[in-house]
A and B are shown apart, each in its own frame.
Chain A
Amino acid sequence: MATEYFNEMYEGGAVRAPYARLEDWMRSMPAELRQMKQAEAEDLFRRIGITFAVYGEGGDPDRLIPFDMFPRVFAQDEWRKLERGIKQRARALNAFLVDVYGRGEIVKAGKIPSRLVYRNEAYEKAVSGFVPPRGVFSHIVGIDIVRTGPGDFFVLEDNCRTPSGVSYMLENREIMMRMFPALFQNNRIEPVDNYSDLLRRTLASVAPAKCDRDPTIVILTPGHFNSAYYEHSFLADLMGVELVEGADLFVENGFVWMRTTEGPKKVDVIYRRIDDSYLDPLCFRPDSMLGVPGLMDVYRSGGVTICSAPGAGVADDKAVYTFVPDMVRFYLGEEPILNNVPTWQCGKTDDLKYVQANLKDLVVKEVHGSGGYGMLVGPKSTQEQIEYFAGRIAADPDNYIAQPTLALSTVPTFVEEGVAPRHVDLRPYCLVGERIELVPGGLTRVALKDGSLVVNSSQGGGVKDTWVLAE
């Protein structure tokens, strides 16, 4: 079985070049030392307070996300290709958003069905006709990528709203450097710690036209009950900006203000970590207590920038995803560097037939689902589960897409018995403002269970430090 998967460290019996120096390191760690180090790492994570609450699973809400010490490594040339592909995709996604809230050329050209765009729940009528500063809707694009061979990378999904997990990218590196300083002397690894500077610069670069000074940036969080609250406060700290909740902000005179001990302070850029529908009860859900009443009126009149822009979600819908390669060709006139995973849309009759006949071999996802919930992994499911899912698809085919079960690459991972290959994916965080920036690295998620292909932290996944070698 294991030989079917691309092992990123071993090819045949030989160690692949990027991992050359990790072999000795691995061998230099007997079980006792490893366990000690693992305990040390856990202790460090607990001390910094990085935890991940899992929705709907009960249990300990302050549970640590498992950290695996074995790094995942990319060679310089591997990364450069990925980087070009990721930036290309981020450009195309933003061009798509400007287009569908503007003239809708891609729809008129027949490249994407209008139904998928304009009848999409994530399409915000309220921002039609509005172009955000610098034409950017999605300022932080998280692109989930899997690898199936030495040069074979596929995009699994795009996250254009508020992709989370970047705090793990930064903390994993921090902890590895503290625990294994020698590793970082023996390997030339590109740094990721300038991410917060780049994020700050990106946000400042999209300040609204009405802002005529150094822009005031805030992070808007739904509050400490949110599973990613740690990340919100972590990023605010790193960037040196205020972390606020809706109640800390108010609207007056056509601007947004923050309550401070020295009186109201005008806010120019809001990096929001709350969903569109909660942003402003005067525009979206009237029962929302998390947002800021009147915020959208200020936004639409150019008094404040909201990142990501309301409405950005229409680009990362799983049914729209199928058309991202077409967006690259349509807007950029380039061939896509990164491929999509072949996807069947259950809303199409022929696709639906195929999916229903091949459920046991496919991965089925809800169009609007996230976090690995509401998903079927055919080969890992019982007949009963498959039948249950078949019923759900039949009841609402438009809501489902299916993909082949991908042979996700593996990276050596510390397990009970020693070191064993485990499946991984990758989420890099691309920043889009005046410039497009990508720190060399990202979040590698690893499925810790033997044979498991589900890397979501809510489903027993862990994380690894991700290296790009400088060379």
Chain B
Amino acid sequence: MILTVSHISTYSYDAPVRGAVQSLRMTPSVCDGQRAIRWSIEVVGGTRGASFRDGAGDWVEGWSLRGPVSEITVKVTGEVATTDMAGVLRGHRETVPPEAYLRETGPTRADSGLMTLAQEAAAGATDALDRAHRIAAAINEAIAYRPGSTDQFGTAAEALALGEGVCQDHAHALIACARFLDMPARYVSGYLHAGAEGTPNEASHAWAEVWIDRLGWVGFDASNATCPDARYIRLGSGFDAQDAAPIRGVAHGRVAEALDVTVAVEAVQQ
């Protein structure tokens, strides 16, 4: 599949800021399931700084921007050829040992509700892969997809108690359950081509990867009860949403910030 991406994030401030610094993780991962045909990142009016590939295999770019400005726009456009790898991350070079992803973080802490869900879902599973599939399915049932039901600071435990959430909550819940069962798990940010069939999703998407012996990292999208396929573009990973955020930035000034995002992921007709 060939997917085109247009992702524009605009930060507006109620008063001009003196400047801003950003760390962007917005380049498609280098792995067997996807290949960037063209890709460009631009912070409008900004200067590109240091860039490098980190230990998790993500390409990181630093940007800075001198003010005063009242608006900062991050433009990402590109075209990626994808193939369905049934969720398995192959050909991805990284140095972080899987075990490092057993560490609990605030949003991925398993409370008693998540522990119960994990244990019940995993009961009767034949192997680790089966266990991960069952957990993903159980989360899809327990947390209904409802845009706007939770905010970016919500935790997996809160989403489960509420019974609804967005892709971030599904990924956090899956990670919490997997780690509770001693399976390394991490948060993945990326894009999803929605298609015409109207499956619930967000074009700017997130899912989880679980470490399965002999297979390596395998993606699970609990929001859509599936493993990532050719409709998915992988950008980067982390312990949780904040750690894996495609954009991390600081604006200098005591101002209120508003963020407007438009994302379009489309399939090129072949």
Contact = CB atoms under 8 A, between A and B. Distances in A.
Interface of A: 101-102, 104, 107, 114-115, 118-119, 121, 123, 125-130, 250-255, 281-283, 286, 293-294, 296-298, 300-301, 303
B21 A251 contact: yes
A119 B100 contact: yes
A288 B19 CA distance: 18
B62 A297 contact: yes
Contacts of B94: 129
Closest 10 CB pairs of A and B: A128-B55, A301-B50, A297-B62, A129-B95, A129-B55, A254-B50, A293-B250, A118-B99, A254-B49, A282-B23
Contacts of B52: 297, 300-301
16 contacts: A101-B95, A119-B102, A125-B100, A128-B56, A128-B97, A129-B55, A129-B94, A255-B49, A255-B50, A282-B23, A282-B248, A283-B248, A293-B249, A296-B23, A297-B60, A298-B62
B116 interface: no
B40 interface: no
Given A123-B100, A129-B95, A301 B23 contact: no
A125 B240 CA distance: 13
Contact of B49 (A126, A129, A251): A251
Contacts of A253: 47, 49, 64
B257 interface: no
B144 to A, nearest CB: 29
Contacts of A283: 23, 248
B64 A252 contact: yes
B35 interface: no
B97 A294 contact: no
Given A252-B47, A254-B49, A294 B23 contact: yes
B151 interface: no
A125 B96 contact: yes
Contacts of A250: 19, 21, 64
Contacts of A121: 103
B51 interface: yes
B56 A125 contact: yes
B262 interface: no
Contacts of A298: 49-50, 62
B149 interface: no
A297 B239 CA distance: 18
A125 B64 CA distance: 24
A127 B55 contact: yes
Contact of A286 (B22, B55, B62, B248): B248
Interface size class of B (residues with CB under 8 A): 20 to 34
Interface string B41-76: 000000111111011100011101010000000000
B103 A119 contact: yes
Contact of A297 (B19, B23, B55, B102): B23
Nearest to A251: B21
Contacts of B21: 250-251, 282, 293-294
Contacts of A104: 97
Contacts of B49: 251-255, 294, 297-298
A282 B99 CA distance: 24
Contacts of B239: 125
- Which among A104, A114, A297, A300 has the highest number of chain B CB atoms within 10 Å? A297
A390 B108 CA distance: 30
Contacts of B50: 254-255, 294, 297-298, 300-301, 303
Contacts of A281: 248, 250
Given A294-B62, A296-B23, 8 more contacts: A125-B239, A129-B95, A250-B19, A253-B64, A282-B249, A286-B248, A297-B52, A298-B62
A169 B265 CA distance: 63
A247 to B, nearest CB: 10
A264 to B, nearest CB: 11
Nearest to A126: B54
B62 A119 contact: no
A123 B97 CA distance: 11
A109 to B, nearest CB: 14
A115 B99 contact: yes
Contacts of B48: 254
Nearest to A121: B103
A166 B2 CA distance: 61
Nearest to A304: B50
A300 B60 contact: yes
Interface in B12-32: 19, 21-23
A276 B66 CA distance: 27
B65 to A, nearest CB: 9
Given A104-B97, A253-B49, A298-B49, A282 B250 contact: yes
Given A250-B21, A282-B23, A301-B51, A294 B64 contact: yes
A286 B97 CA distance: 24
Contacts of A128: 54-56, 95-97, 100
Given A129-B95, A283-B23, A118 B248 contact: no
B128 to A, nearest CB: 18
A107 B248 CA distance: 33
Which of A119, A283, A286 gathers most chain B CB within 10 Å?
A119
Contacts of B22: 282, 294
A102 B100 CA distance: 13
A254 B64 CA distance: 9
Contacts of A130: 55
Contacts of B249: 282, 293
Contacts of B55: 101, 125-130
Contacts of A123: 100
A297 B48 CA distance: 11
B213 to A, nearest CB: 14
Nearest to B56: A125
Contact of B97 (A118, A252, A255, A297): A118
Interface string B233-261: 00000010010000011100000000000
Nearest to A128: B55
Contacts of A115: 99
A294 B249 CA distance: 8
B247 to A, nearest CB: 10
Given A251-B62, A252-B64, A282-B23, A300 B54 contact: yes
A239 to B, nearest CB: 27
